[in-house]
Amino acid sequence: MSYSAENQLMNGEYKMWHQNGQLSFSGNYKNNLKDGEFQEFNDSGVLQKTGIYKDRKLISGVAIVQDVVYDRPEKPAVYINGDEAFDEYLIRNSANIDGLRKVTNPKRIDIRFLIDKTGRMTDIENISEFTAAELSILNEVFKELPAYTPATEEGIPVASIKDLSFIISADGLKRNTNDEVFAKPEKMPEFPGGPVALREFLSSNVRYPRDAQIAGAQGKVFVNFIVNKDGTISTVTLARGVHFLLDEEAIRVVKNMPKWIPGQLNGKPVRVSYTVPINFALQ
């Protein structure tokens, strides 16, 4: 299939395989929309489900979704009892942590959670710098991982990434509600000049590492970052890598991007999580 980095459009046939090499998913996309027959297979290669789509709408059969980790699911994962219950969880688990007494100045902490299809939090990754003391506090707070209602695609539970911002202080760990990171605001952020300008920036700045060429390394590197309210780029992380040299180059280029036009929600700029694929192809 073809995947356009500048506007993130998928076109053509798309397939995925189980680890044993058996086909697991097959379908066709047209301008990022499901269009045609989609099939799902078990790890023995036996067809399990079939769905026919037209312009993303299921017209017959059953819904078929990819078994991948979504960074922008249709319906994001939410704490099982709501935000107030999550705040109570933070207060309860922050109480009586000795390390908090040594926190003299409040600090913002950005964390990325991986939530599986059952709503279980399976991984926590820092996307801002932690000290050893702060990491110890976070491990103590989240030693009992909270339960979520999983994200869904077409009504089907899927694994997803959820970025949250916190304030750590002597009073405990609290959600940074004034600086929430959104995945799907009303208006997505945009590279200055639009998709064409982004393509030109990438083509002008990406350098294919020579050692990676010699090693025959190629493929798409997916880089995630946050577009802040002022358009600056922060918390640049590797979403999916190919080879450490290509990964490092993709991250370097993204960190050097100019200010973006920020995303908006209710007419106001907001912080938005954004992922860009950068393709490295040997001629």
- The model's pLDDT over 135-188, given as tens digits with 9 standing for 90+, comes to 888 888 888 777 899 999 999 999 998 888 888 888 888 888 766 778 778 899
Confidence of residue 7 (pLDDT cuts 50, 70, 90): very low
- The model's pLDDT over 91-145, given as tens digits with 9 standing for 90+, comes to 888 877 888 878 888 888 888 888 999 998 887 777 777 788 888 888 888 887 7
- The model's pLDDT over 17-32, given as tens digits with 9 standing for 90+, comes to 888 889 999 999 887 7
Are residue 160 and residue 108 in the same domain, yes or no? yes
Q: Among 122, 146, 179, which residue terminates a domain?
A: 179
Q: Which domain holds residue 137?
A: 78-179
Comparing 79 with 3, which gets the higher pLDDT?
A: 79
Query: ∠ CA(124), CA(127), CA(129), 5° rounding?
Result: 110
Query: ∠ CA(229), CA(231), CA(236), 5° rounding?
Result: 100
Specify the number of domains making up the chain: 3
Specify if 72 maps to a domain.
no
- The model's pLDDT over 208-260, given as tens digits with 9 standing for 90+, comes to 999 999 989 888 899 988 899 999 998 888 888 889 999 999 999 999 999 99
Question: What integer pLDDT is reported at residue 132 of this predicted model?
Answer: 83
Specify if 259 maps to a domain.
yes
Q: Among 66, 86, 116, which residue terminates a domain?
A: 66
pLDDT, mean of residues 47-69: 91
Where residue 271 sits, what CATH number does that domain have? 3.30.2420.10
Are residue 169 and residue 209 in the same domain, yes or no? no
**pTM for the predicted model, two decimal places:** 0.63
User: Is the CB of residue 137 less than 8 Å from the CB of residue 126?
Assistant: no
| Helix, strand and coil percent figures for the chain, each rounded to 5 | 20, 45, 35
226, β-bridge pairs: 234, 273
Let me know how long the chain is: 283
Question: What integer pLDDT is reported at residue 9 of this predicted model?
Answer: 59
Q: Which residues of 113-125 are buried (b: 16+ CB within 10 A; e: fewer)?
A: bbbbeebebeeee
Q: Where are the alpha helices (DSSP H) in 68-128?
A: 83-94
Are residue 61 and residue 116 in the same domain, yes or no? no
Are residue 172 and residue 110 in the same domain, yes or no? yes
Q: Where are the alpha helices (DSSP H) in 83-161?
A: 83-94, 132-141
Report which secondary-structure segment, H or E, holds 235.
Answer: strand 233-240
Are residue 84 and residue 60 in the same domain, yes or no? no
| Torsion on CA atoms 253, 255, 256, 258, rounded to nearest 10 | 120
22-30, long-range: CB < 8 A, 24+ apart:
24/67, 25/64, 25/66, 25/67, 27/53, 27/64, 29/1, 30/55
